[in-house]
Amino acid sequence: MSTRIRSQTRWLPATAFLAALILSSGHFFSEWVQSEDPADNYLEVLHQADASSNKFLNRQRAELFGLRYRTASTNGDKFRLFHQSADEWIKAGEISKGLLRLDSLLSALPTKERDQIIDVEEALRWSQMIGGLRLGEQQNCVAMHGLDSCLFPIGGSGVHQQPEGMQLAIENLDWSLARSPDRLDLRWLRNLASMALGNWPEGVPEPLRLSPGLFASSHDVGRFRDVAPRVGIATVGLAGGASLEDFNGDGQLDLFVSSWGPMDPVHYFESDGQGQFKDRTEPMGLSSITGGLNITHADYDNDGDADLLILRGAWLGSAGHHPNTLLRNDREKFTDVTVASGLVSYHPTQTADWGDYDLDGDLDLFIGNESTSSEVHPCELFENRGDGTFVEVSQEVGLHHIAYVKGVAWGDIDDDGDLDLYLSTMASSNALYENIGPAAEGERPRFIDITVRAAVESPQLSFPTWFWDYDHDGRLDILAGSYGSFEESMLEGVVADYLGMPTADEGIRLYRNLGDGKFEEVSEKTGIRHTVLPMGANFGDLDGDGWLDAYFGTGQPGLSTLVPNRMFRNAAGKRFEDVTTSGGFGHLQKGHGIAFGDIDHDGDQDIFATMGGAYEGDGYANVLFENPGHGHHWLTLRLSGTRSSRDARHARVQIDVKTKSGPRTIHRVVGTGGSFGASSSQLEVGLGAATEVIAVTVRWPVSGHARYLGFSLDRTYIIEEGKKEPVAVQTVSFPLGGAAKKPPAED
């Protein structure tokens, strides 16, 4: 794949699509001069934000359109600006202000010859419908947040106690459906509104009714309950990232979350080891840190503590020239070392991955930036010098890639011991770069583009991605999630997929590694090729059977894009089953950073999701789904590198076990998982029906293979590179928020 922007003909449809997604084109004042402090620069960028072009600054835009309305010279301009102001107040969360304006506009429409202005009325009713939907969500899902709030299909305590919002939505939906009965988006929202009012499916006219069977799960994984309010982490925010890791070294998994609003605070929560989290944001020196659509963690300085990287500017185009932030962790506080480390740059991004590409024992950093036809922001590879500083080397090694990059992942696809790189891009082909090593001793490794040979280009509108061994054959496979299509609305694509109708969306793509530098596209064969609009996404083991499952946080900025987050269970590496409904995972609020981790030390993985949309009023409480337990055995491994990086990033682990039906091998890779959300780097491995652990084999990135013996079931161990024996760690399980679970069943 060329490292220049592709041909203009390739970019023409992409430009139109990205214009709808970026929704902004703010600019810098020519006299702006960068300071030495990236925090100062970031604040300067925020102060210069242009509300007339940055459509995520909703309150400012509402006021701006109101001012323009007062000075408009024609009635047509006044009408348009008043409507725009109403829409912005709704997006800003001031629903009543917006609805009052819409009421006055609808009342002002002439009663005679109404059909001549049907398009105007249709636009106003759409806005009023959106206002009704959001009013219902605010008054019920947000203000009266409970266990079933906004979970699809809506039922139980999720039924709205304040019905006014959904009643208003239905009034306008019925008006629109009478004129456009074939619109799938309107049909979907009509069913959703009836669910919220507790009269679905009977409350929907039969021709528009969606069958409950469309959403049934083929496998029951047990109900995962949201315990975030009970444990103290249900903060309300917008789209953001999540990092789940033991940041203070006490053996408990802590949590770091962000919200992308430029002045939104980050939150750092420490587990107390008894089922609660304490907000330690201020004492850890994080009070001045704001924003960030995504975050990831790694021990870049090999001191034994996980450090944090905050990524900013995504989707904002020329208004997104925001610096990322590197926070060094010393367990007592986090320190902003962005300038000192040499990582200061000003490119819109939300995706990065850590990996030791040159096998010197230090973690390097690849950042995928967002280029468009009007702005070029090359990707960056920051090589770790081993002294706490980095140097940018992407051009020298062949990774000076230019595209609208939405996901990146390191992984060794050819089992030659070094890391290759996959890029998930929007409006262009994805890319796979093979690490071919240095041309001569003392030189840096080089990368070559093998995308076409490997046949892993799709989808063309790609978002989250990762490497994983989904079928346990010892080779790393690739997953890439599609974010809609050029030809149809995003919501319509999701509905069409549920109904089994043709859709222009390419769907989730799963590429099985064939072991010869080529991949087989197996999405259809494995049942995972669905239209889900994935943003945040990650993988883990839901039921402790040893097979890796996938959870997708879904959505799109528009307030009408209310689609469930989706969970797919891996059925023995052969097929993926949609278990969204049975597990209670179908959150209708926008899902972003996803992280799996055994927070309560009971041997199964819980799931955290950062919730909330892009517009200022589209905030929601973050969720933590507690695993109900499935009675399987488990093994937790904490790897510690000496010659390899301290956190053993990208070490390959093979676990051989005995079962009553014979031997079994389970494969894992040390890392944080998907490209949007960061799981704990400790390996939490479900062993299914295993009766004994035979051995664990680790391929350390620098020192190579080592085999370890002496493991018991249902225990946690530390494995240190260069030492022969694993060290058992005493852990004590505890109920999250005081809700005890059933003990595992005996084999």
Nearest to 466 by CA among 418, 406, 516, 400: 406
Structure tokens at 386: 């081993």
Give the chain's length: 747
Question: Nearest to residue 203, comparing CAs of 213, 211, 193, 194?
Answer: 194
What's the N-to-C CA distance of the chain in angstroms?
A: 52
* Separation of alpha carbons 492 and 494, rounded Å: 5
**pLDDT confidence bin for 54, thresholds 50/70/90:** confident
The predicted model scores a pTM of: 0.94
pLDDT (tens digit per residue) in 142-178: 999 989 999 999 999 999 999 999 999 999 999 999 9
Over residues 341-351, the mean pLDDT reads: 95
Q: Name the residue with higher pLDDT: 47 or 561.
A: 561
What is the sign, positive or negative, of the torsion defined by CA atoms of 104, 105, 108, 113?
A: negative
Say yes or no to pLDDT of 34 above 80. Answer: no
Between residues 428 and 318, which one has the greater pLDDT? Answer: 428
User: In this structure, are residues 95 and 128 in contact, taking their beta carbons and an 8 Å threshold?
Assistant: no
pLDDT value of residue 37: 61
Residues 540 and 528 sit within 8 Å (Cβ to Cβ): no
pLDDT digits (tens, 9 = 90+) for 508-551: 999 999 998 899 999 999 999 999 999 999 999 999 999 999 99
Q: What is the pLDDT of residue 45?
A: 65
Cα angle 343-345-351, degrees, rounded to a multiple of 5: 80
Specify whether the CB–CB gap between 320 and 312 falls below 8 A. Answer: yes
Tell me 210's DSSP state.
Answer: P
- According to the model, what pLDDT value does residue 739 have? 52
Task: Collect all residues with Cβ–Cβ distance below 8 Å to 104 and sequence separation of at least 6.
Answer: 82
